[in-house]
Amino acid sequence: MAKNSFFTGQPIISQLLSLIPHSLVSRLAREHHADRYCKTFKAYDHIVTMLFGAFHRCSSLRELITGMQASAQRLSHLGLLHTPRRSTLADANKRRSAPFFEALFHELYRRHYGALPDSLKCKTLLDRLFIVDSTTVSLFSDVMKGMGSYGADGRKKGGAKAHLLVRAKDNVPCFVRLTPATTNDKSFLHHLSVPQYSIIVMDRGYNSYKKMITWNDNKISWVTRLHPHSVWKVIQQLPVSEKHQKLGVRKDYLIELGNPRTLKINPLQQVRLVVFYDQQQDREFQFISNNRKFSPFTIAQLYQKRWQIEILFKRLKQNFPLQDFLGDNENAIKIQIWCTLIADLLVKIVKDRVDKGRKKKWAFANLVGLIRQHLTTYLNLYAFLLNPDKAILKYRDPEPYLQLKLFKT
């Protein structure tokens, strides 16, 4: 392979930003009026700046801006005429519409992973599986309402909550909503729209009987844990095979879920109740589901898949800056969270493309670390990731006479 297969005229950050079409940014900027009253620091410049800070894990405006100034010559490939001032970036984080970045994230997901179809009938369980959960981002100010006990000064720290809908086969959020940390998890379900024959797995904090009944009518299966304060009664005990008993299934019931005293608010519904014993944790779980065709062990396995989203939360918080924020207002905090999600999405796109051509898959943390160290290096990212050892072996320093020719007066 030739030397120039791994050394290119575009730095790595430029190759990552090529996944964000300029036409898409321009269209969304017009729709959300993101460039109104902005003379020089346009929406695209804002995205480049925030992604630079996300990949470099910048903890302050000064660190971000001086880092860009040190790489000013190489950043010219990104279409930036000049690096912004700290005051310019701070004003943009305060004034530019956060929904613009929200729309950009969702459009990028649909562009690279495809829009959700109307129906997932005849698809595999993994293709049909969606996971719902939320993660809290703690803040050191009371900008957004925080959860938990009061501090020594009598005030609560702020907190933002990110509600995620993750398609299991992609392992990347397909729908995200940001709220203050005090927002009830159930409110997120009213914004969800999933195809028919989907399977939704969620924690018991999302138990909303009204939404569950709607999913029943739309041929959507759901699996969750039984809330300890739920009211229910057994209608029928279903048989459990000896094979499933050995795997941990103890009981399988058909129950009536709901309180007869609140029929006008939450109608009664018949669901499955599976009692499962996890030998590794030495713990018993109670799962409920509206699907009567799945085996009880399949219902338990589907809920275990929910832990996939916990790994995603760990991936986000360990590889990108969500401890230090570049602004002390709600809009700036939301913009930084959205840009962190966009940065994670771009790396995931690169990882999925590279893993298709390699037997040994890249660890996400290693890939992010490599990108962080060589963000402005002129390196063909895909070619290097496919075979880094070969890239090193094929590298040759320039010939001595060429060097002499370059410096000849």
DSSP 292-355: SSS-HHHHHHHHHTTHHHHHHHHHHHHHS--SS-S-SSHHHHHHHHHHHHHHHHHHHHHHHHHH
| pLDDT at residue 37 tops 50 | yes
Is there a contact between 194 and 130 (Cβ–Cβ < 8 Å)?
Answer: yes
Say which residue, 396 or 67, is predicted with more confidence.
67
Rounded to the nearest 5 degrees, what angle is found at the Cα of 40, between the Cα atoms of 37 and 43? 75
- The confidence score (pLDDT) of residue 66 equals 93
- The confidence score (pLDDT) of residue 267 equals 85
What the block records as the tokens of 85 is 């001032």
How far is residue 222's CA from residue 302's CA, in Å, rounded to a whole number? 10
What the block records as the tokens of 262 is 């609140």
Which residues, 6+ apart, have CB-to-CB distance to 262 below 8 Å?
none
Among the listed ranges 46-60, 267-281, 316-330, 337-351, which one has the minimum average pLDDT value? 316-330
| pLDDT at residue 408 tops 50 | no
How far is residue 20's CA from residue 181's CA, in Å, rounded to a whole number? 30
| pLDDT at residue 183 tops 50 | yes
Say which residue, 149 or 270, is predicted with more confidence.
270
Domain locations in the chain as residue ranges: 3-101+328-394, 224-297
How far is residue 143's CA from residue 328's CA, in Å, rounded to a whole number? 7
Q: Which residue has the tokens 């000849």?
A: 408
Is there a contact between 179 and 171 (Cβ–Cβ < 8 Å)?
Answer: no
- The confidence score (pLDDT) of residue 207 equals 87
Q: Which residue has the tokens 């009253």?
A: 37
pLDDT digits (tens, 9 = 90+) for 147-159: 555 555 555 567 8
Is there a contact between 349 and 112 (Cβ–Cβ < 8 Å)?
Answer: yes
How far is residue 180's CA from residue 143's CA, in Å, rounded to a whole number? 9
* Max CA distance (Å), the chain: 95
Mean pLDDT across 172-186 = 91
pLDDT digits (tens, 9 = 90+) for 229-252: 889 999 999 999 999 999 999 999
Is there a contact between 163 and 148 (Cβ–Cβ < 8 Å)?
Answer: no
Mean pLDDT across 77-91 = 85
Say which residue, 83 or 73, is predicted with more confidence.
83
pTM of the model: 0.89
| pLDDT at residue 4 tops 60 | no
- The confidence score (pLDDT) of residue 1 equals 45
Distances (CA, A) of 101 to 108, 341, 380: 11, 10, 28
Mean pLDDT across 85-108 = 95
Confidence tier at 145 by pLDDT (50, 70, 90): low
Which residues, 6+ apart, have CB-to-CB distance to 196 below 8 Å?
118, 119, 120, 121, 218, 219, 220
- The confidence score (pLDDT) of residue 393 equals 56
- The confidence score (pLDDT) of residue 401 equals 44
How far is residue 147's CA from residue 138's CA, in Å, rounded to a whole number? 9
- The confidence score (pLDDT) of residue 155 equals 56
